[in-house]
Structures are given as C-alpha cells and as structure tokens.
C-alpha cells in the first residue's frame, strides 16, 4: 500500500474532513437523480485524481456504503498500488470487460481490500485499444451488473485532454467530478475540459481543488499532522487539502489557476 490513504491514517485531519464534505456534497447534488456512479477526472496527468478517488472511496465505505473503486485508467492506473492488491494480466477491469458474460465469476477480478465495504477493480491487462474496450457493449453490460451489486461505484479515470477514454465513461456516470491541481492547472486547460464535457453532453457536477502543499517534495517523507499526536513535528500547512466547487470552473481567472478555493460547505448545489 502507498501512503495515499490519508483519510484512514489521519481521520481527524482537515483533509479527511474535506473528503467527507465532498461525499456529502455529491449526495446533495444528486438528491433527485440518485447517486451511484461517480466519475473522477482531471485535465492532465498527475493532478491527483487517483489520490482523491481512493480517499473518497474510503469515505463512502466508512459511511457503510458498499463501494467499488474501478481503475479506469487502462493505460497507467495505480489503484492496485495504492491499496496493495494484486494486478495481474489475467485479472482486472480490462480482462473482465473482454471476458464478461452474465455468469462470469466477478470475484476472480474484483479484489477485496484491507478496508471494510471497499472493493477495487484494478486495471488488469494493458490493452492496445482502451477506447474500444471502454466503449464496448460488454462494458455497458458489466457496469449495469455492478450497479446492482454496489451502492457506490467510483470511476478513477484518465485525464480528459488528449484522450477520449473518460468522455466515453460519462455515459454511465451519475456525477462527474473534475479534480484540478491548484499548483499547475491552467485556466485554458479547464476551458478545454468544459468544452469536452459539453461535446459529450455531460454535466460537470463539481470541481475538486486539490491543494498539494508538499511544495514539490514527495509527501511520503513528511507524515501528517494529527490532532491526537501533539508531538508531531509536522505543521498544519503541510497537510494537503481539497475543496469542492460547484460548477464554477472557468468563471474565475486568477493567477492562471482555474478556481480559487473557498469554503467547502457553502457550495453545495441547491442547498440554499
């Protein structure tokens, strides 16, 4: 397992609180339509999609939902590393799509994790044609079956720009999150993402502003501030935080960053 699972390592951190708020906000945003399949993407590589997806999956599992986290980045997914589960060229999402029949034994592909209520479907074989596989009728049948089994399904997707994989998956999602990196996402990239969603006739439910405060250093060496551990040498400022913005992206242009962070709880759609 990697050290990405902050919500369990530091349940009282501000980060954990923010992730739980995202969980709540997503439920509010989909109060009429129902929330089952949540897609998470970002403009470019390395914005923190997998990190956010993993922690959000845990947050739903902690809320007693039966959760499946699907690694949809068939090119370079890393959820198996985050959760320390096996990923073989014989058993994973790509293989399951290819082999899926109504009587397929799902447990040969879906992995249990160390956490209650949370299963992960790792990528499996790296196919030469991810777009065709994701767009296949078999994938549709598979996702329909999985929706009958799980309360929440999180699709950890590849980036939007330059790849059509994610837009194909919007056909199956109830909520679409766009993770942006406060450090590097440019306004123009967000505008482009908005255009891609509009082309696919898919709505952006909200934006997660990922504020990686590790200042270029790997956070693995840092550890995190915990409320319990007063002796910690880590400062509060070192803890990564996230905010969730209802469809505001592209409306503000500030320092070349897509959106400014704001108080998480005040931006739930229709909550006023």
Ligand X SMILES: Nc1ncnc2c1ncn2[C@@H]1O[C@H](COP(=O)(O)OP(=O)(O)OP(=O)(O)O)[C@@H](O)[C@H]1O
| CB nearer to ligand X: pick between 101 and 217 | 217
Say if residue 111 is exposed, middle or buried (CB neighbours under 10 Å; 0-12, 13-18, 19+): buried
Q: Shortest approach of ligand X to residue 15 CB, angstroms?
A: 7
Q: Shortest approach of ligand X to residue 157 CB, angstroms?
A: 8
Structure tokens at 182: 């406060």
| CB nearer to Mg ion: pick between 50 and 113 | 50
3-state secondary structure 35-65: CCEEEEECCCCCCCHHHHHHHHHHHHHHCCC
Site membership for Mg ion, residue 49 (CB under 5 A): yes
Site membership for ligand X, residue 92 (CB under 6 A): no
Q: Shortest approach of ligand X to residue 107 CB, angstroms?
A: 26
Question: Dihedral of the CA atoms 213, 218, 219, 221 (nearest 10)?
Answer: -140
| CB nearer to ligand X: pick between 100 and 241 | 241
Number of residues that bind ligand X (CB under 6 A): 18
Q: Give the Cα separation of 22 and 42 in Å (integer).
A: 16
Residue 32, CB-side half-sphere exposure with 13 Å CA sphere: 3
Residue 139, CB-side half-sphere exposure with 13 Å CA sphere: 20
Site membership for ligand X, residue 161 (CB under 6 A): no
- In the region spanning residues 220 to 249, those forming contacts with ligand X, defined by CB under 6 A, are 240
Among 1, 28, 46, 112, binds ligand X (CB under 6 A): 46
Q: By the criterion CB under 6 A, which residues form the site for ligand X?
A: 4, 42, 45-51, 73, 76, 78, 159, 210, 212, 214, 219, 240
């Amino acid at each position: 397992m990697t050290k990405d699972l902050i919500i369990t390592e530091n349940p009282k951190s501000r980060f954990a609180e923010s992730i739980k708020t995202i969980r709540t906000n997503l439920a509010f945003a989909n109060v009429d339509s129902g929330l089952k399949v949540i897609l998470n993407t970002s403009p470019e590589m390395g914005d923190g999609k997998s990190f956010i997806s993993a922690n959000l999956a845990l947050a739903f599992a902690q809320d007693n939902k039966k959760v499946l986290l699907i690694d949809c980045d068939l090119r370079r997914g890393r959820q198996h590393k985050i959760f320390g589960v096996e990923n073989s060229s014989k058993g994973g999402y790509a293989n399951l799509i290819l082999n899926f029949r109504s009587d397929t034994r799902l447990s040969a592909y879906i992995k249990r994790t160390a956490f209650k209520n949370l299963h992960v479907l790792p990528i499996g074989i790296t196919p030469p044609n991810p777009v065709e596989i994701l767009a296949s009728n078999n994938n549709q049948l598979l996702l329909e079956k999985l929706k009958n089994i799980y309360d929440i399904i999180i699709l950890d997707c590849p980036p939007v720009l330059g790849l059509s994989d994610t837009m194909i998956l919007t056909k199956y999602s109830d909520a679409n999150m766009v993770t942006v990196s406060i450090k590097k996402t440019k306004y123009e990239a967000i505008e482009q993402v908005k255009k891609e969603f509009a082309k696919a006739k898919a709505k952006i439910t909200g934006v997660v502003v990922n504020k990686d405060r590790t200042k270029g250093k790997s956070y693995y060496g840092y550890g995190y501030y915990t409320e319990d551990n007063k002796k910690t040498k880590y400062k509060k400022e070192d803890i990564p935080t996230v905010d969730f913005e209802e469809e505001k992206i592209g409306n503000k242009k500030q320092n070349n960053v897509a959106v400014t962070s704001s108080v998480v709880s005040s931006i739930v759609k229709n909550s006023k």
